[in-house]
Structure 1
Amino acid sequence: MSQTHRATADDRPRSRRRAPSPKRGRRLRRGLLLGLLVVLLTGGGTAWWLYHGLDSNLKDGAVDLDRALGDEKNRPARQASAGDAVNLLVLGSDSRAGDNAALAGGSTDGARADTTLLVHIAAGRTEAVAVSIPRDTLVTRPACTGRDGTALPSADRVMFNSVYAQAGPACTAKTVEKMSRVRVDHLVEVDFAGFKEIVDAIGGVPLTVREDLHDRSAGLDLAAGTHRLDGTEALAFVRSRKGVGDGSDLGRIGRQQQFMTALLTEIRRQDLLGHPTRTYRIADSLTGSLTTDSELASLSALVDFGRSLDGIDPAAMETIMLPVEYDRVDPNRVVAVEPQASALWRAVRADEEIPASARRSPANGGTPAS
């Protein structure tokens, strides 16, 4: 893992039990909601078209998780004891189709889940922990329906990000449920092109790096210091692997987590209430780049869900990695390590503090898995 992220993670308090920050927590969602209302109410006959456009963005490609994941008795139970806790699966896809071709390194067939986070939002919705699942992790894929509509039987020792390539986001959610026994309540997917547009729509994201970062293949060239990254630079930062840190996918996860925190913090910092045009532009970029589960696939549902998270401060959100070790048969792959992985998932299911033992990953030399 890179020195940059270790320094960031070491500075972050480990306890998830923090007092909420209601004023800071309300700025983005109120700004987004009220800003949209200003646009819609002053738009006359155009108002319906604007709202319908944003709403249609979300409905396109929405995933019916309940239908796709099958019989309720074969899924992890909802944890009644966890109150209003909720689990959100976030996928960053590297599809080579359309606008993504140039960003993803050329047009090729298929797509992969380049980034996968299971975000557990604790009861009370004032705290959250994001668990990164390394894309090179070997997992058991449950029986699914492939992208071409054919039946895929269960398979052992498949690379985690290949599940998305072969069977799409619903099967990825099913795989996460199988490996963790954690219920996936909601799904959000964003592609490369959409990620770039979101960063550009908010005017870039400030980020501090502790060492020079150079990766010609990803187009990354940053000197140590603080920068405001535009969409292209941000994409290079989160995708970079060669010649940065230890050059591993595990090190890249640290940079992705660092940028995610910076992005959410910057969105909340901006006074969108006073800029309805910018608010609409951000909303258009956001809704146009997202694929969600069917329960979130409307503007009103997404805004309501966002408002329920007002009390969470992104800067205080925990970001950790699934504890893994290098596979003994294929050293280019990793596997979940026990008992750390089970301890992590058990804490998530019970909505409890992540134990210290679950924060350490042998693949990172025993350093905290974050």
Structure 2
Amino acid sequence: MSAESTPEPGIPEPAPTGPRRRGKGRRRKASSKRHKALLVTAWAAAGVVVLGGTGAGYLYFKLNGNLKSVDINGALGTHRPAKVDNGSENILVLGSDTRSGANKKLGGGADDGSARSDTAMIVHVYKGHKKAAVVSVPRDTLIDRPACTDTKGTTYPAASGVMFNSAYSTGGAACAVKTVESLTGIRMDHYLEVDFAGFQKLIDDLGGVQVTTTKNIDDPQSHLDLKAGAHTLTGKQALGLVRTRHGVGDGSDLGRIQLQQAFIKALINQVKHVGVFSNPKKLYDLADTATKAVTTDSDLGSVNSLMDFAGGLKGIGSSHMKMITMPVQYDPANPNRVIMAPAQARLVWTALKHDKPIPKAATAGTATGEAKGVVSAS
């Protein structure tokens, strides 16, 4: 549902104070935009909103009206892991595969309004907000999904041995959060979701992303055909790259995750060189696109809240972010599915819960896919 935007009398006041912060904020906000395939889009929304919302009051209210939010806390109630008061934050970031509207052509399939979580990442921001860890959750992971209630009050029964992304397609954002909290024992403090169409347009607004591929990538299902060599990816090609699973590697979701993580690094380089912050028109276009593309939990469902959130991330550089895939093994009964490696996954969740670095032992010997090194920053 859409975030209610009920401005208080003091809300337009960021305009006078903004220019003073903006000299530093603009450049450093680029840091908070550099961290993932779809994660990067969601954080770009936060970073760009900070910049785009500082002009005239009209721009602020226009961008505020673009935002959509869901009341995760209201849907899940009190039966959740306790908040850990150690200065850290945990954010669930989803890339949504919605089969309706503008996303129909991008996602394929019927325009039936169905949706899946095409990409899922758990972002842990450490105390002090100087470093972070990102844990990608393969959508093909077989899990036991807990009973959950969506934001409209509809309750869904628990299910065993189902794919992870069925949580979102069953009960939306609230059930996705509930499932992640059940798997990890960690409370998600925030939720960010980006859709296909918004991701594609945001990359186009940035002017594309430069990558080099070491192999040909050809996947009609994700509309991607790249020869080995240097490319400046359009939004459509970038979307194809972060979604492809059949064009390279072993055809698993694990290979796709490796491509997504490589794309992050390429996007980091691109953001450094794009003249976004010296071009007000380009800046506003990015802000408009990003705020339309992102859905947040209700605590982040306003420009002011996103400004505060992004401000807390600005000190995190890409070199201070560790990215891993949730420890999994191929399912012996079905090589197209994976199952969580419980002992090693426990090392990850325990580390994050106690705001500690993820130990190397957590991922040693786990399934990884076969797409590492196929894509790099140009």
**So what's the TM-score if we normalise by structure 2?**
0.82
Counterpart of 1:14 in structure 2 is: none
Tell me how far apart the structure 1 counterparts of residues 244 and 26 of structure 2 sit (CA, whole Å). Answer: 35
Tell me how far apart the structure 2 counterparts of residues 328 and 343 of structure 1 sit (CA, whole Å). Answer: 23
Counterpart of 1:66 in structure 2 is: 73
Counterpart of 1:301 in structure 2 is: 305
RMSD (CA atoms): 2.5
Instruction: Give yes or no for contact 1:191–1:289 (8 Å, CA) kept in 2.
Output: yes
Residues 47-67 of structure 1: CA deviation (Å, up to 9, x unaligned) = 42x322210111x3x111211
Call closer, same or farther: CA 1:26–1:145 in 2, change over 3 Å: closer
**Is 2:194 the partner of 1:177?**
no
User: Aligned letter for 1:280?
Assistant: Y
- How do 1:222-301 residues align onto structure 2 when only pairs under 5 Å count? 222-301=226-305
Please report how far the alpha carbon of residue 260 of structure 1 lies from its aligned counterpart in structure 2 after TM superposition.
2.9
**Is 2:198 the partner of 1:189?**
no
**Is 2:105 the partner of 1:102?**
yes
Instruction: Give yes or no for contact 1:238–1:252 (8 Å, CA) kept in 2.
Output: yes
Tell me how far apart the structure 2 counterparts of residues 182 and 347 of structure 1 sit (CA, whole Å). Answer: 11
Tell me how far apart the structure 2 counterparts of residues 243 and 265 of structure 1 sit (CA, whole Å). Answer: 24
Instruction: Give yes or no for contact 1:323–1:359 (8 Å, CA) kept in 2.
Output: yes
Residues 7-31 of structure 1: CA deviation (Å, up to 9, x unaligned) = xxxxxxxxxxxxxxx9963556787
Tell me how far apart the structure 2 counterparts of residues 129 and 223 of structure 1 sit (CA, whole Å). Answer: 32
Counterpart of 2:84 in structure 1 is: 79
Tell me how far apart the structure 2 counterparts of residues 112 and 98 of structure 1 sit (CA, whole Å). Answer: 15
Instruction: Give yes or no for contact 1:327–1:333 (8 Å, CA) kept in 2.
Output: yes
Instruction: Give yes or no for contact 1:35–1:273 (8 Å, CA) kept in 2.
Output: no
Call closer, same or farther: CA 1:79–1:268 in 2, change over 3 Å: farther
**Is 2:134 the partner of 1:130?**
yes
Instruction: Give yes or no for contact 2:63–2:303 (8 Å, CA) kept in 1.
Output: yes
User: Aligned letter for 1:70?
Assistant: G
**Is 2:353 the partner of 1:349?**
yes
Please report how far the alpha carbon of residue 230 of structure 1 lies from its aligned counterpart in structure 2 after TM superposition.
1.0
Instruction: Give yes or no for contact 1:63–1:292 (8 Å, CA) kept in 2.
Output: yes
Alignment coverage as a number of residue pairs: 334
Instruction: Give yes or no for contact 1:325–1:362 (8 Å, CA) kept in 2.
Output: yes
User: Aligned letter for 1:135?
Assistant: R
Instruction: Give yes or no for contact 2:329–2:340 (8 Å, CA) kept in 1.
Output: yes
Tell me how far apart the structure 2 counterparts of residues 136 and 37 of structure 1 sit (CA, whole Å). Answer: 42
Tell me how far apart the structure 1 counterparts of residues 369 and 279 of structure 2 sit (CA, whole Å). Answer: 47
Comparing both structures, which one devotes a greater share of its residues to strand?
A: 2
Tell me how far apart the structure 2 counterparts of residues 63 and 170 of structure 1 sit (CA, whole Å). Answer: 8
User: Aligned letter for 2:173?
Assistant: P
Counterpart of 1:16 in structure 2 is: none
Instruction: Give yes or no for contact 1:140–1:155 (8 Å, CA) kept in 2.
Output: yes
Instruction: Give yes or no for contact 2:255–2:370 (8 Å, CA) kept in 1.
Output: no
Please report how far the alpha carbon of residue 147 of structure 1 lies from its aligned counterpart in structure 2 after TM superposition.
8.0
**Is 2:66 the partner of 1:53?**
no
**So what's the TM-score if we normalise by structure 1?**
0.83
User: Aligned letter for 1:319?
Assistant: M
User: Aligned letter for 1:51?
Assistant: Y
Please report how far the alpha carbon of residue 261 of structure 1 lies from its aligned counterpart in structure 2 after TM superposition.
3.5
Please report how far the alpha carbon of residue 231 of structure 1 lies from its aligned counterpart in structure 2 after TM superposition.
0.3
Counterpart of 1:164 in structure 2 is: 168
Please report how far the alpha carbon of residue 252 of structure 1 lies from its aligned counterpart in structure 2 after TM superposition.
0.6
Structure 2, gaps ≥5 residues long: 1-24, 33-46, 373-378
Counterpart of 2:54 in structure 1 is: 37
Moved more, 126-135 or 223-232: 223-232
Counterpart of 1:5 in structure 2 is: none
Structure 1, gaps ≥5 residues long: 1-21, 41-46
